[in-house]
Structure 1
Amino acid sequence: MPLNLQDIPRVKTITKEDFTKHYFKPQKPVVIERFIEDWPAYSKWNLDYIKAIAGKKIVPLYDDRPVDYKDGFNEPHFKMKMAEYIDLLKSEPTKYRIFLWNILKEVPQLQNDFSFPDFGLKLMKGLPMLFFGGRDSHTFMHYDIDLANIFHFHFEGTKQCILFDQNQNDYLYKIPHSLITREDIDFNNPDFEKWPLLKNARGYKTELKHGEVLYMPEGYWHYMRYITPGFSMSLRAIARNPKRFAMAIYNIVIMRNYDNAMRRLKGQKWIDWKNEQAIIRAHKTFK
């Protein structure tokens, strides 16, 4: 039995007015298929190009190991040269991913290959982030700390995306004081006997191909799996909804610091307690 997911709506292209009316205001996701064909990046950006232009850069890598109390916030598990990493991606499946790689800081000339589109939202000009993954690598189900509006531009290969809005929290086994669900849930092939509340979750799905743009509304949960090796770029705009904006400030100023303090104080017991609470609170809420 699969998750209860509807296909994310798709449009070939879209005006700012239609995007605002049909997707931003109602906070619904959409895939725009042919929005960036005039960008140099559309024809230039692939793994070979990134290897040629950034091959000597040392990049931070992450895999799918569970969170450990000793791990710092977004601390990488491994590092290697970008050229070596891309060779690895192309030669064999690997769990190693790159995320939140700031191209303005790392390879400023890549800025010349794209522009900041006008969707009627003020995009953060300093934060174009790249994400890379090998075949079958995936992120944990999570939402972003700032609950931003995210425009996710995919390059090379195919990527599976599963989204849920914040109204589904009660069914997703959310970890308290965190931005993730239980890490042992396989959202690609969920075990409903172990995680029965997932049957009640209502979400969205799509597969992104080269040049397509996915809009993820404020605070949407997302799980990304690379069906083939590839990479994406995210542009973001701050949350406009006052409640979600306040939640973003709380996450950044209070929640993150509290969680880090408890890791230092209680170690792995804190992580274990949070994992237990995810189950206890989910079933308590449901009852």
Structure 2
Amino acid sequence: MSLQALFETTRSEGRGALVGYLPAGYPTVADGKRTLTAMLDSGCDLVEVGVPYSDPVMDGPTIQAAADTALRNGFRLADVFSTVETVAAAGGRAVVMTYFNPVHRYGVERFARDLASAGGLGVITPDLVPDDDAGWCAAAGAAGLDRIFLVAPSSSEERIALTANASSGFLYAAAVMGVTGARATLSDTAAETVARARRHTQLPIGLGLGVRSAQQAAEVAGFADAVIVGSAFVTAAGESEAAVRALAGELAAGVRGQGAMTSTVGK
């Protein structure tokens, strides 16, 4: 199923999509594959497979520590493709989130081709701007991958328009300025950032950075098309598979409850 088809389904159900993030290879490659499968089995509509990187400048301490563990346990970039392949073979949907340097070093055309062959649907590139993409948009388009760029509360209207125009699949809205990490309350700028982005695109908009509870997931699902959860899943993965399944179920219930009550998803 494409990302477009996924969001058509969630819209028809009057709810947002639940998107869960986990670095590939955390804490080992086999463990990561099992955890991502558990996330999908327990309520996630889509998973983001992260690429562990040695200089994760946009990640908070939780994801940084997980990436470091994966790298120390022997993670290699090829493990991203095998992880995505496992997800796809099990009937799940996956995109990859990566800093651009690993893609550039691997080769943009080669990376796009290998990810598409593994069953990946798209790539989120948090540190890449579409007006200086080093050929990524062309390579991704040729491979049939969606190009998912980020906007932030500080983005100008011109920057949001340019970013939205270059994106496909969905647009990623960062709820806060700064690094990733679960937070007790949502940022005051979250809904405003999504509303600003909607003025420039018909694409679905996913909100990430900070969600950790069913209540927060329900709140986000009231104004965004996707609720993106990262650090909370990484923390749960460090505890047990049962903790991951419980978190996914809790968040899925929040997303579905809010969607049913408001019927505003995608509007």
The structure whose RCO (Cα within 8 Å, separation 6+) is larger is 1
Q: Give the helix-richer structure, 1 or 2.
A: 2
Quick check: which one's strand share is greater?
1
TM-score (norm 2): 0.28
Q: TM-score, with normalisation over the residues of structure 1?
A: 0.26
